[in-house]
Amino acid sequence: MRNVTETKNHWLAIKLIGDTTKKTPKDATGSTVYITTGKIRRRFDQTSGAGYASQNEQTIFVGLGDNTKIDKLEVVWANGQTEQFPVEKIDARIVIKQGEKIKGN
């Protein structure tokens, strides 16, 4: 089987890495990402599991639909620190390390 459906929607995959010296877990559990596209602001929480004896993938997947840019990406780290990051491209996987620039942008 092969999926031959044309993909028209956009996306962004975000991997968060916390700074343990700033009292944020390395896997950034407890952190929140806010994405603003146009007039819509959406929230994504970094969790470690959602049920008994389970583990979620530690990547936040954001569906952007037909939006071709992200106006604002804000991370509220588990320690309460807030940072904003410019997103130069979409349809990509990026890594955000606390206190550093985006990698993969």
Instruction: Return the pLDDT at 105.
Output: 62
Q: CA torsion sign, 65 to 69 to 72 to 75?
A: positive
Reported pTM: 0.87
Look up the CATH architecture of domain 10-99.
Sandwich (2.60)
- What length is written for the chain? 105
Please determine, for residue 83, whether its predicted confidence score (pLDDT) is greater than 80. Answer: yes
Q: Do residues 90 and 100 make contact, with C-beta atoms less than 8 angstroms apart?
A: no
Q: What percent of the chain has pLDDT over 70?
A: 98
Locate the domains of the chain by residue range: 10-99
Instruction: Return the pLDDT at 22.
Output: 95
Of 6 and 54, the structure prediction assigns the larger pLDDT to 6
Question: Given the DSSP bridges, would you call strands 59-65 and 72-76 parallel, antiparallel or unpaired?
Answer: unpaired
